[in-house]
Amino acid sequence: MATDFKFPDVGEGIHEGKIVKWLVKEGDVVKSDQPLVEVETDKAVVELPSPAAGKILKITHKEGESVKVGEVLVSIGDEGEKATAVSPIAPSIVSKIVEAVKGPAPVAPVLEKPKRVLAAPATRGLARELGVNIETIKGTGPAGRVTPEDVKNAASRRVVSREGAPIAIKEEKVVVSTETGETRIPLSGLRKIIADRMSYSKSHIPDAVGMDLVNVTRLVAVREREKANAEKTGAHLTYLPFIVKAVVIGLKKYPKFNANFDEEKQEIVLKPRFNVSIAVDTPDGLMAPVIKDADRKSIIDISKEIVQLAELSRTRKIKLEDLQGGTFTITNVGSVGSMFSVPIINPPQVAIMGVHRIKDMPVVVDGKIKIGKVMGISLAFDHRVADGAEATLFMNEVMKHLEEPELLLIEMI
């Protein structure tokens, strides 16, 4: 009896996916558990295995198309058979995907170092100059090497806005009007997920925002001093790991901000684990991989993990379990020059902290005005969960540990 393999309901708020790549074609003979298709769902790309052995009779969705939960992806059977849905198939497949989505709760994920594409230094320099992520380019040179022509072709597929800023888009989705000159880009994939989540956040969460300036002069000095030692361990030490540790200390003292809000039951759910989501800018949109159990990890460990997760996100090799379970988010907009911002809460979390550019500014130290290193921070929080006074106290705790980074140095071990 032939089998209709339907896109399963795996929970976690996943209602649809997008076909990224078919790994088989009609007429192919496949084995049970053989990878069939790559589907983009909830910001990650998942490989779905075959529920049965047999011949691919029909593929119902093309690459780039969306598929909703319950819709047939592919029919598998013997030549001449008519496809018929078989209910016992779904649970085994669901269990595989649920395991990928949730991951083992108590253990932090073991990250594989992503393979870099083959490219000459000059080609990588050209990619940086043209603003193209070379890791996303499929090389046409020998052994898959990316050539300068590949980089130029990728750059040509970017549309330029009226302000001159390049907008990375998928070529096949762009519609340019020959009459008005307007470019229309349908929301799809990751961009659509971001739009839906941010719209929900702003329309459902009564958020408030607190802002302050932090004198990070000593933090800058500590990071500069420890950078060489960190490199000996293979870590690229930035300010972000220090910020993560300072935030965790604040969350332990003010646990309301390490929480979810259950709208249905009208309950604040305090989380026992400190899983910090880190916003990462990728060519396809913002992603938020999670540093699991950040309170149990050293600054060096966090530094290494941030680099790995960011690279996996930008190359779209990130696993679903690395995007799930966050309890608080940090977004580093200072890396692109922002002095202040109002970040949007990532539901069902109840707070997000924005950290900004470090700038030389006058500061008062022991009654005297000096030039110091100053960083702006902002905290957006759910006003149903906490009030402004609590948010200020939480921010003060974080600021204290950023202003006195020696309090964190023990975590370098």
End-to-end CA distance of the chain, in Å? 60
Cα of 343 vs its chain's centroid, Å: 15
Q: Is 356 a catalytic residue?
A: no
Sign of CA dihedral 363, 368, 369, 373: negative
Is the bond into 348 cis (omega within 30 degrees of 0)? yes
Give the whole-angstrom CA distance, residue 110 versus residue 176. Answer: 44
- CA neighbor of 330 nearest in space, from 226, 222, 251, 225: 251
Give the whole-angstrom CA distance, residue 244 versus residue 402. Answer: 10
Mark out the alpha helices in 55-179 (DSSP H runs). Answer: 89-102, 121-130, 148-156
Which residue of the set 61, 236, 356, 383 is catalytic? Answer: 383
Give the whole-angstrom CA distance, residue 343 versus residue 353. Answer: 7
Cβ atoms 343, 352 nearer than 8 A: yes
Extended beta strands in 164-258, E state? 166-168, 175-176, 183-184, 207-215
Give the whole-angstrom CA distance, residue 216 versus residue 358. Answer: 8
Cα of 235 vs its chain's centroid, Å: 21
Classified as helix, coil or strand, 261 is: strand
Active site residues: 383
